[in-house]
Amino acid sequence: MELLVIGLDGLSTNMLDRFDIEPEYINRVLENGASGDLMSVDTPTTLPAWTSFATGKDPGSHGLTNMIQQASDYETSPLRTNTTDAAAYDLIDDALFVNLPASAGRVPAAEDTHLVSAMLAEDEEDAVPSHLQQLDAFEDYILDHDKSLKKNPQTYFDHVCDITRARRDFAAEAFDEYDPRLGFVLFSTPDWAGHLLSNFSDDETRGRYYRQLLSVVDTCAQDLAERADNVVLMSDHGFERKHTNIHINDFLHQRGYLRESESSVSAANIAVQTAKAIGKRSSVLYEKIRQLYNYIIATDVGQTLQEAAEPNIDYRNSKAWQLRYGCVFINDKRFDHPAVDDPDALRRQLQTELADLTDDDGSPLFRDVLLAEEAYSDPDKRAPDVIARPAPGCYPTLLKSPTGGYASHTNNFNHRYNGLFAAMGPLFAEKTTVETPSIVDVLPTIMAVLGMPLSPEFDGKVIEAATADEYSVEYRDSDTIPHPQIRTDSDQGARDEAVQERLEDLGYLE
Ligand SMILES: [Zn+2]
């Protein structure tokens, strides 16, 4: 194999440093190759970010800006695979992609190229094309984790280690069988493990579990890398400890932009009201409740509790709301009941007001507050109106503030913008630090070093500092860009249902 891209979902070097983890193989590539803290996209989440990798375009162009979407009737639903933009598996012949998120239902347009999809697929049979189901390792291939195992952390971490090894075995057999020029494999487990770290209250316990997983991921990455002359390690976003929750919807509510509906009375709702009342009086007790909450959020009861802790938004009568992860939408004519006369003015006003928000010590809650045209190179109308990028250690939650105000203390682990990029082999520069390469730039860079003409549609550009030589970049003619091909035999309804459940488990859907 000439080049292998190994995806490490949600991995960043700060997490390795925090838990004192020194993965032998990953460190070797970081130190000897061209590496840097990869910059993710808005929002820095799995589906938008991997779609940006696959298309070389930012989310404003490919349309998947968040983990969920909202229709004109205000209903939120899981995303579907992008079906309008050419992706790596359409542009690169003789390639094999294993476990690429947000590609379910797509058929490679490139010649001799194979695609195993991941998140957004219904099950193993939906994710793996039938000719690849013939591989021996398919029998043990696992698409997704069993969330019920989260109740026992050791069982769960053993389970994600098994998934990691099964993915390595499947990818190894597929690469050996098909001998592609370019390979891709994604290990999703660092992301899943990262989310579970919030359930523990001390770094010693967290470190023990995270270290266990990372040593398996490192070995599996090395086993596959031995098959390739050149290797790119990359994540789609990083992880970090969050000390502050930002409650954007509470802010919008208090300033009169967001209206809440009468919330229904339920046992879960009463539990949340009680927790909030206690939180106002005792931060110690609140912290205990928060830990318990993190623990049970992994269960079905926890999902109900989380729903109750999110405001019930009266969208029709609201001017603006946060959908999730700092993305604010304005109720303009994209929606069935527009309630804003001058959306442009409101956009600028919200941008200013959000940028002014600080915590109790006066530190800004956001590193940047951007309009769509500032965050994306060519946003279409589905893009969020305002994108509030949280400051380091801050997380824009959907949960209501337990203590009043727009910021509250937390002790969670969640996504951050900076991930990881490291490239090693004859095609790449040696021992070089690359200044924040963007995830959108990875595909153009891979294609350039392999001597392939780039798509003129790319938003990304070649990361020149990472390449061994100077490359003269050539572009295809626009009319030779392949059209996306969609599988016709698949059941989108069943897929939506499976995905809905999975996103609920990760806390992405109400
Ligand atoms: Zn991810």
Which residues are paired to 467 by β-bridges? 428
Tell me the C-alpha to C-alpha distance, in Å, between residue 316 and each of 73, 319, 323, 340, 479: 9, 8, 14, 11, 43
In angstroms, the first-to-last Cα distance of the chain is 43
pLDDT-derived band at 248 (thresholds 50, 70, 90) equals very high
> Residues 383-434: pLDDT tens digits?
999 999 999 999 999 888 877 789 988 888 999 999 999 999 999 999 999 9
Report the pLDDT value the prediction gives residue 490, as an integer from 0 to 100. 67
Which tokens hold the place of 2?
A: 């000439």
Which tokens hold the place of 40?
A: 């993710």
Domain segments of the chain as ranges: 3-237+417-469, 241-260+315-396
- Which residues, in sequence order, are CB contacts of 387 under 8 Å at separation 6+? 42, 43, 326, 327, 328, 369, 370, 371, 372, 375
CA–CA gap between residue 499 and residue 291 (Å, rounded): 27
Q: Ligand 1 (ion): which residues have CB within 5 A?
A: 9-10, 46, 191, 236
CA 191 to centroid of ligand 1, rounded, Å: 6
CA–CA gap between residue 185 and residue 169 (Å, rounded): 11
Greater model confidence, 12 or 276: 12
- Does 307 have pLDDT greater than 60? no
CA 71 to centroid of ligand 1, rounded, Å: 24
CA 45 to centroid of ligand 1, rounded, Å: 5
CA 270 to centroid of ligand 1, rounded, Å: 34
Q: What is the chain's length?
A: 510
Which tokens hold the place of 394?
A: 């801050």
3-class DSSP assignment, residue 173 = helix
CA 9 to centroid of ligand 1, rounded, Å: 5
CA 310 to centroid of ligand 1, rounded, Å: 23
Sequential DSSP letters for 465-497: GGBSS-----B--GGGSPPPEE-SS--HHHHHH
User: From the CA atom positions of the chain, what is the Rg in Å?
Assistant: 22
> Residues 61-75: pLDDT tens digits?
999 999 888 999 999
Look-up: residue for tokens 């003129």?
A: 456
Domain 3-237+417-469: give its CATH code: 3.40.720.10
CA 269 to centroid of ligand 1, rounded, Å: 31
CA 257 to centroid of ligand 1, rounded, Å: 31
> Residues 439-489: pLDDT tens digits?
999 999 999 999 999 999 999 999 999 999 888 899 999 999 999 998 877
CA 237 to centroid of ligand 1, rounded, Å: 6
- Does 275 have pLDDT greater than 80? no
Greater model confidence, 133 or 80: 133
Report the pLDDT value the prediction gives residue 363, as an integer from 0 to 100. 95
CA–CA gap between residue 66 and residue 59 (Å, rounded): 8
- Sort 277 into a burial class: Cβ within 10 Å, 0-12 / 13-18 / 19+: exposed
CA 447 to centroid of ligand 1, rounded, Å: 23
Look-up: residue for tokens 């079906």?
A: 83
pLDDT-derived band at 295 (thresholds 50, 70, 90) equals low
DSSP 358: B
Sequential DSSP letters for 285-354: HHHHHHHHHHHHTTSHHHHHHHHHHS--B-GGG-SEEE-STTEEEE-STTSSS---S-HHHHHHHHHHHH
> Residues 496-510: pLDDT tens digits?
777 777 777 666 654
Report the pLDDT value the prediction gives residue 172, as an integer from 0 to 100. 98
What is the CA 212 to chain-centroid distance, rounded? Answer: 22
Report the pLDDT value the prediction gives residue 351, as an integer from 0 to 100. 98
Instruction: Judge: domain 241-260+315-396, CATH 3.30.1360.
Output: yes
CA 279 to centroid of ligand 1, rounded, Å: 32
CA 236 to centroid of ligand 1, rounded, Å: 5
CA 489 to centroid of ligand 1, rounded, Å: 28
